Amino acid sequence: MNTPELPRRGFLRQVAGVSAGASIWQASQVSLLGGTFETPLREPSGGNETLPQDRELRLALISAASYGRPGQERISGSNHGTAFATIFNGWDEDAAKQFQGTMVKSTRQIPGCRVTKVWDPISDAATKMAAACQIAEVCATPEACCQDVDGVILIDDGSGRQWQFAEFPLRQGLPVFCDKPLAMTAREANQIAKISEECGGKLMSASSLRFVPDIAKLKRELEPLGKIKLAMATGPGQLVYYGIHALSMVYGVLGAGAHSVRHVGEKGRHVLKIRYPNELEVLLLVTEQDQFPMGYQLQLYGENGSRTIVPDLADLYVYLLEAFLGFIRTGVEPFPVREEVELIAVLEAGERSLHNGKEVLISDMFGQ
């Protein structure tokens, strides 16, 4: 019934995931964006409560059965929604044949957790996805989907606005994973991060590229390279919506702290020069689909040597979701969500620099 099947058409068909190493909740103010945030990162309500490792986790998927980019009709089918669901639940082959639109069947499953609820604005798509992915309950509202579960996953539905579903479960004390991108603008990303901080919530958002084993391994092996002076990351797609994957490799290895961005490429062929206060420079190259093809690659140049990584994208969603499950069970975030806010700000600053031809400060992306 659950014969693995994984169509491969570039990154979007690579489906789930090294369980992420966890950093301690930040109790003091941070200054990732060149200034102090109004609300410090803090321990979530209830502290670092742990759940029994042997208890099956119950998960909810929101906006998970259909997809539509801004200005386009929303249609049945979801790459991330079906991929995530089949990682946890497997699938029913006969019902899967009745599902319309994109359906991705993961080659690997994660034991000890199950998607028990799903909601989507296209109710028929949610019903058929539930049958295909063996999900017990189709909910009438996103709020109902957040009842009697241990964690909530907001699926990338093409809108770039899935973050709007985060506030309710965060205020209910539920761990929330907001699928990439956290938001399409720095102000929106900052808004939901502040809500999470104010209510002591547990919010995570990331590209799966941050957690693939190649990137995790490189982070552990930086010392022989000496001080990193230059990093180059490449990837395909639109700058904010898909450029997040390439830039996440940099953040996964080197962390946050960007000061400014200058776009030195052209529309469709994005080249961002990202400056850091510690003499590090990052070149981010992102090409849109109608340009020459460019795969994912990360190059680091240090005082004592260099490394080049072409990440293996097999099972990449598994590594991402394992990190979120660790967050649910321990209450310890894999990395500060403020890093993801900064990452969105860097990409948006790149877009602004493309239009005005100037170097853009990251801190300026949070103004009125």
Question: Mind listing the domains of the chain with CATH numbers?
Answer: 11-25+54-209+317-335 (3.40.50.720), 221-312+346-366 (3.30.360.10)
pLDDT at 294: 87
pLDDT over 90, % of the chain = 82
The first and second tokens of residue 173, run together, are 């004390």
pLDDT of 43: 38
pLDDT tens profile 57-106 = 999 999 999 999 999 999 999 999 999 999 999 999 999 999 999 999 99
Can you tell me the mean pLDDT for 43-60? 69
pLDDT exceeds cutoff 70 at 190: yes
Q: What is the pLDDT of residue 292?
A: 76
d(CA 341, CA 183): 8
Whole-prediction pTM value? Answer: 0.86
- Per-residue pLDDT tens over the stretch 266-317: 999 999 999 999 999 999 999 997 777 789 999 999 999 999 999 999 999 9
What does pLDDT average to over the chain? 88
Token look-up 């169509």 returns 7
